[in-house]
């Protein structure tokens, strides 16, 4: 018997017992659909996380510095970063003014950190998305935080050094204060003091970064009660420079804040981290989650495979006389094995294809239901996921069909012909 005949017999056997064949396929259908949906959702989440890190900016180093001597150590670190200009392209304080700041332009008045007067009950409005934030930064604030200029210019070194009243606006702050009007050259007031808008940034699609107003960090004394500025953002030139800069900075900071006999740092403390490392760790976590979820979904495929083996054993019992007749007229064991393996593989293939179809539909439904999570991302299964699930289902059919096929091929013709 050739392969074409084996396939024809397999399809005929499935067609004769449609209900039983469908119930047999059900485990494979559920398993393949589960693998496709769950892995696709995990990949969508991974893409969203990666998109977030890309918007935040690559090659950023975040420094949290706590020095007992105040500004002296901070200035030393900033000077040291500037000396590493072959690795570092900029450094800026990234300190938010904690007290409430009243922002005014024309008839518009907005207060920052005004938690007591926020109306949390307005339907469809997230108060956090409309709240503005005033940050203290250097002339390199935009570069360090991956902003791109929409119009105007960055603050200059002299404006920061001489504490001149200028500011930069994020896209959200610009929209709230000026609407569609270009704000460059206009003047806003912060706590009654006038600040000229010298530039504004393109939309980042990150609420807090878009709803930002940046003023020179030298206003820390007058606008922020001279609080310690502990948070800094350092921009490295590329990924290799990020690693080198972090190594050099760690050594320098360890020298500034040595440990005592008990292992506690003297004169202050610091925390140094890279967004690159965070992105890599997130990707590893996403991969692990995908593997775990895929393995869980794969268990249902194994259960389906056991169902295939069970039904094939029943088929062998039902077709014992047929097997006996074929062996009596000279059929080889290999042809019997091939016939039953092909039948098992066909059942799994049909179930796998149906499962892929359901998986695609289920993935799109999951994307719609989780539109807030996957905003801006069309959730669709990757072709290699669908192909992998299908191939796995066929392999399962062959593996779990092997025992019934070998059992069928081992029947003695005389015994088989005596069967009812």
pLDDT tens per residue, range 46-77: 777 666 655 555 788 889 888 777 667 788 88
68 occurs within a structural domain: no
Q: Which two tokens stand for residue 158?
A: 């002299």
**Predicted local distance difference test score (pLDDT) of residue 22:** 81
240: in domain: no
pLDDT at 83 over 70: yes
Same domain, 216 and 302: no
Whether residue 263 is contained in a domain is answered as no
Query: Could you count the other beta carbons within 10 Å of the beta carbon of residue 370?
Result: 15
Q: Are residues 224 and 326 in the same domain?
A: no
- For residue 80, tell me if it sits in a domain: no
Q: Final residue of a domain: which of 228, 251, 271? A: 228
**119 and 199 in one domain?**
yes
Count of domains observed in the chain: 2
Range of the domain at 172: 100-138+148-228
Judgement on whether residues 126 and 26 belong to the same structural domain of the protein:
no
Joined together, the tokens standing for residue 320 give 């014992």
- Which of 228, 259, 291 is the C-terminal boundary of a domain? 228
Cβ(29)–Cβ(397) under 8 Å? no
Same domain, 206 and 310: no
Q: Do 314 and 371 fall into the same domain?
A: yes
220 falls within a domain: yes
CA distance 299 to 76: 58
pLDDT at 44: 78
Q: Which residues contact 352 (CB under 8 A, 6 or more apart)?
A: 28, 29, 32, 389, 390, 393, 394
Q: Do residues 132 and 203 both lie within one domain? A: yes
Please report whether residue 67 resides in a domain: no
For 6-45, how does the pLDDT look when each residue is reduced to its tens digit (9 = 90+)? 677 777 777 777 777 788 788 888 888 888 888 788 777 7
Give the separation between CA 320 and CA 21, rounded to whole angstroms: 19
Kind of pairing, strands 166-169 and 149-152?
A: unpaired
**244 domain residue, yes or no:** no
pLDDT tens digits along 250-307: 999 988 888 887 777 877 788 888 766 655 666 667 677 767 776 776 677 777 777 7
Q: SS3 sequence, the chain?
A: CCHHHHHHHHHHHHHHCHHHHHHHHHHHHHHHHHHHHHHHHHHHHHHHHHHHHHHHCCCEEEEEEEECCCHHHHHHHHHHHHHCCCCEEEEEECEECCCCCEEEECCEEEECCCHHHCCCCCCCCCHHHHCCEEEEECCCHHHHCCCCEEEECCCCHHHHHCCCCEEEECHHHHHHHHCCCCCCCCEEEECCEEEEEEEEECCCCCHHHHCEEEEEHHHHHHHCCCCCCCEEEEEECCHHHHHHHHHHHHHHHHHHCCECCCCCECCEEEEEEEHHHHHHHHHHHHHHHHHHHHHHHHHHHHHHHHHHHHHHHHHHHHCHHHHHHHHHCCCCHHHHHHHHHHHHHHHHHHHHHHHHHHHHHHHHHHHHHCCCCCCCCCCCCCHHHHHHHHHHHHHHHHHHHHHHHHHHHCCCHHHHHHCC
224 and 315 share one domain? no
Percent of the chain with pLDDT over 70: 79
Backbone φ, ψ for residue 189 (5° rounding): -115, 140
202 CB-side CA count, 13 A:
7
Q: For residue 118, what pLDDT is reported?
A: 64
- Are residues 104 and 160 located together in one domain of the fold? yes
- Give the torsion through C-alpha atoms of 52, 154, 188, 100, to 10 deg: 50
Q: Please check whether residues 179 and 295 belong to one and the same domain.
A: no
Is 54 or 362 the better-scoring residue by pLDDT?
362
Instruction: Please tell me whether residues 115 and 26 are part of one structural domain.
Output: no
Question: Of 74, 97, 65, 77, which is closest to residue 226 (Cα–Cα)?
Answer: 97
Do 107 and 43 sit in the same domain of this protein?
A: no
**Residue 397 falls within a domain, yes or no?**
yes
Q: How many Cβ atoms are within 10 Å of 346's Cβ, its own excluded?
A: 21
Last residue of a domain, one of 167, 197, 228: 228
Tokens describing residue 307: 């169902």
Residue pair 317/84 in contact by the 8 Å Cβ criterion:
no
Residue-wise pLDDT for 179-218, tens only, equals 999 999 999 999 999 999 999 999 987 777 889 999 999 9
């Amino acid at each position: 018997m050739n392969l074409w005949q084996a396939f024809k017999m397999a399809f005929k056997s499935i067609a004769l017992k449609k209900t039983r064949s469908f119930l047999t396929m059900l485990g494979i259908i559920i398993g393949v659909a589960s693998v496709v949906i769950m892995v696709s959702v995990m990949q969508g989440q991974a893409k969203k996380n990666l998109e977030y890190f890309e918007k935040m900016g690559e090659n950023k180093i975040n420094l949290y510095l706590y020095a007992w001597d105040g500004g002296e150590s901070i200035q030393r670190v900033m000077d040291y970063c500037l000396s590493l200009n072959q690795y570092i392209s900029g450094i800026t304080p990234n300190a938010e003014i904690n007290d409430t700041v009243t922002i005014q332009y024309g008839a518009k008045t907005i207060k920052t950190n005004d938690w007591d007067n926020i109306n949390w009950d307005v339907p469809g409005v997230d108060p956090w998305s409309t709240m503005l934030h005033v940050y203290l930064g250097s002339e390199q604030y935009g570069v360090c935080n991956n902003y791109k200029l929409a119009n105007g210019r960055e603050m200059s070194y002299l404006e920061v050094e001489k504490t001149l009243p200028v500011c930069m606006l994020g896209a959200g702050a610009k929209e709230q204060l000026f609407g569609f009007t270009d704000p460059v050259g206009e003047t806003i007031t912060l706590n009654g003091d006038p600040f000229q808008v010298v530039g504004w940034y393109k939309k980042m699609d990150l609420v807090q970064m878009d709803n930002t107003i940046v003023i020179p960090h030298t206003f820390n004394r007058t606008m922020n009660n001279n609080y310690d500025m502990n948070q800094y953002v350092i921009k490295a030139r590329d990924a290799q420079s990020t690693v080198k800069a972090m190594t050099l900075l760690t050594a320098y900071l360890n020298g500034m804040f040595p440990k005592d006999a008990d292992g506690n740092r003297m004169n202050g403390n610091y925390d140094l981290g890279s967004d690159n490392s965070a992105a890599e760790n997130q990707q590893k976590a996403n991969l692990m989650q995908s593997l775990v979820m895929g393995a869980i979904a794969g268990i249902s495929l194994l259960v389906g495979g056991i169902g295939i083996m069970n039904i094939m054993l029943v088929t062998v019992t039902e077709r014992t006389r047929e097997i006996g007749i074929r062996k009596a007229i000279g059929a080889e064991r290999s042809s019997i094995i091939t016939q039953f393996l092909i039948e098992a593989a066909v059942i799994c293939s049909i179930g796998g294809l149906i499962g892929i179809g359901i998986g695609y539909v289920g993935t799109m439904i999951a994307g719609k239901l989780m539109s807030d999570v996957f905003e801006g991302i069309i959730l669709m299964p990757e072709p290699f996921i669908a192909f992998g699930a299908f191939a796995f289902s066929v392999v399962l059919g062959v593996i779990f069909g092997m025992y019934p096929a070998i059992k069928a091929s081992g029947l003695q013709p005389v015994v088989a012909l005596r069967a009812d």
